[in-house]
Structures are given as C-alpha cells and as structure tokens.
C-alpha cells in the first residue's frame, strides 16, 4: 500500500481522509514582504492550532501546508501546531513559490545546490528537525516564463524525479499553466504527478479541460474570496468540468494564506468554512456525494500517492 509523508510520519493512502490540497497554517514571511503587506502575518502557532481544530471538527483530516522556502516556511512552528492538533495529518513542503518572493541568494546559488537542499528536506528533514517534506513546489509570475521562473520549475522537476514526491505549482492568477506543464514534462515528469494551483483565478473551460485531459491536476482554491469574483463562477466551472467527465482531475483547497482570512486572527471566511458552508452549498446546487468524495478524498489521494486514474 502506498503512503504519504506527513509530520506524523508516513500515512497510508486509505487513511488520508478529507484533504485540503493547498493551505497555509503558519509561516514567517520575509521582513520586506511583511512591511509591504502586513496581512502576511499568519505566524501564531496557538491561534493557527485553534483554527485547524475547527477544521478537524468539520471533518478535515489531511492538510498540505504550502508555505515554501522563499515565503518564510517555518517548520518548527508547524510542528508546534501538529503537537496541539494530533488528529490532523499535516504535509509540509520544500521548493520555492515564485520569483517575486525569492531573495538574491536563490539566483546566485547553483541550481544543483538548491536541488540538493530540497532533496535533504524530503529525505533527512527540514532545518535540522525530523520533519520531512512530502511535496515540492515551483511557480511562475503573472504571464512571465523567464529564466527565473524556469529555474524554480527545473528545481521542482529534478527534486521530483530524484525522490518521487509530487509537484504542486503556483500559478499567478492561473497564467502560464500550459507552459508549466509542457516545461515540467520536458524533463520527464509524468502529468499525473503535477498539480497547478489557483487555476480558478482563470476560470477558462477550454484551458482547464485541455490540461485535465493531459492527466494533470487542477487546483481550485479561491472559494469564498469574493474579491476574485463570486463563487457562482467557481461553482459553474466545477459543474462544467464534472459534466465533461473531468471532475477526477480537480483538487480542492482554500489557500487561506493571510491572517485576515482566519477567524481566530479576527477575519474570515475561516478554515472550516469550506467544509461547513461551501460543501453544503455544492450539495444544494446538485453535486452528488460521489462527486464530493472525488473532490475531497479520492482525487487528492490519487495525486499524493501517484496512483493512476
């Protein structure tokens, strides 16, 4: 039986339960980023643990903590949360988010060195802890695919090929999706080991169906973020994908990477909202249990373990 690495050790596929494929629990954003946008202050393990407990009470089981090295990943803080909420399986990651967050060291350091560091995160542990990464991240900027964007994707590809952990990318507002897939696959990455995040920022059915048919996973994670448009757009896209027989290529998360998204930090919708409010809405709008189980349980399990559809 295949298993997935979490902060609680390897977890077998059938125990993963309801998965949130893209979340942020706690990180220390780089000082310059925090000055630019103080909302990137999701950094209190106690408050984050309370929020995670609410999510577990709503039925959540496995959560992917997507804070990458350049975004201020702080695995010690996430380990504190794991200790406070042992009911949740937490997957932490290695790799880089996008060029905008990376400091000069990333561009000056030899690619092989960065790949080695990421592989160590997966095989030995992160930052001197025993926490091992279970996913590698890479990403690109808004409509850019320059040498820096490509460097982050090449690192993700090589780390995946060396270790077998799946790749979850950052897309900026859903742009450069096909470019990312083509580029990653050019190094020998299999499509079903790739998931593209934030694709519902660019709810373009032609694009989504083309990518899903390749066997690549699409991450939808903007639910409840009305500043990006009403949920109706996301629900309609989901429905169209399911009706086209492509529902099995979609992963669901909420990417609540800012303090203002969290109830216990004084904001909303909160981590439990997706399960407590959005899933019932999908039911009310005609999504059957089988489809919901695919989105929440079976699709992420297949993606994380590398099982084929």
Which residues of the shown chain bind Zn ion in the complex (CB under 5 A)? 66, 255, 257
Least separation in angstroms between residue 178's CB and Zn ion is 21
Phi first, then psi: give them for residue 157, nearest 5 degrees: -60, -45
Q: Which is nearer to Zn ion, 24 or 291 (CB)?
A: 24
Return the residue matching tokens 């091992």: 132
Distances (CA, A) of 47 to 21, 76, 122, 161, 248: 21, 15, 27, 37, 34
Question: Considering the complex, what minimum distance in angstroms separates the CB of residue 97 from Zn ion?
Answer: 7
Rounded to the nearest angstrom, the gap between the alpha carbon of residue 13 and the centroid of all alpha carbons in its chain is 18
Token pair, residue 195, equals: 């998931």
CB of 156 to Zn ion, least distance (A): 15
Q: For residues 242 and 257, which CB has a smaller minimum distance to Zn ion in the complex?
A: 257
Q: Would you say 250 and 221 are in contact if contact means Cβ atoms under 8 Å apart? A: no
Nearer to Zn ion, 249 or 254 (CB): 254
Smallest Cα–Cα separation from 88: which of 23, 8, 10? Answer: 8
- Residue 226 DSSP label: G
66 or 92: CB nearest Zn ion: 66
Specify the residue, 242 or 270, whose C-beta has the smaller distance to Zn ion: 270
For residues 175 and 244, give the distance between their C-alpha atoms in angstroms, rounded to a whole number: 22
- Asked if 140 contacts 165 with a C-beta cutoff of 8 angstroms, the reply is no
Tell me the closest approach of the beta carbon of residue 73 to Zn ion, in angstroms. Answer: 12
Position of minimal CB gap to Zn ion = 255
Least separation, in Å, of the C-beta of 295 and Zn ion?
18
């Amino acid at each position: 039986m295949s298993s997935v690495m979490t902060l609680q050790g390897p977890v077998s596929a059938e125990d993963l339960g309801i998965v949130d494929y893209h979340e942020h629990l706690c990180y220390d954003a780089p000082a310059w980023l925090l000055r630019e946008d103080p909302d990137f202050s999701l950094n209190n393990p106690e408050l984050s643990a309370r929020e995670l407990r609410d999510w577990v009470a709503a039925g959540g089981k496995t959560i992917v903590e997507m804070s990458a090295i350049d975004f201020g990943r702080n695995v010690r803080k996430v380990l504190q949360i794991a200790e406070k909420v042992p009911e949740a399986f937490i997957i932490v990651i290695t790799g880089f988010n996008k060029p905008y967050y990376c400091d000069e060291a990333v561009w000056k350091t030899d690619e092989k060195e960065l790949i080695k560091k990421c592989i160590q995160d997966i095989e030995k542990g992160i930052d001197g802890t025993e926490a091992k990464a279970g996913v590698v991240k890479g990403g690109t900027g808004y409509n850019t695919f320059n040498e820096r964007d490509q460097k982050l994707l090449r690192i993700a590809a090589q780390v995946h090929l060396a270790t077998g952990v799946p790749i979850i990318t950052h897309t900026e507002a859903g742009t450069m999706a096909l470019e990312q897939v083509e580029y990653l696959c050019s190094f020998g990455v299999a499509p079903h080991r790739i998931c593209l995040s934030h694709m519902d920022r660019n709810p373009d059915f032609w694009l989504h169906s083309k990518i899903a048919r390749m066997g690549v996973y699409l991450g939808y994670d903007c639910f409840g973020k009305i500043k990006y448009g009403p949920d109706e757009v996301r629900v309609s896209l989901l429905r169209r994908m399911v009706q086209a027989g492509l529902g099995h290529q979609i992963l669901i998360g909420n990417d609540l990477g800012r303090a203002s998204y969290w109830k216990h930090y004084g904001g909303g919708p909160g981590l439990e909202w997706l399960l407590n409010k959005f899933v019932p809405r999908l039911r009310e709008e005609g999504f059957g249990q089988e489809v919901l189980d695919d989105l929440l349980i079976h699709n992420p399990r297949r993606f994380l373990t590398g099982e084929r559809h």
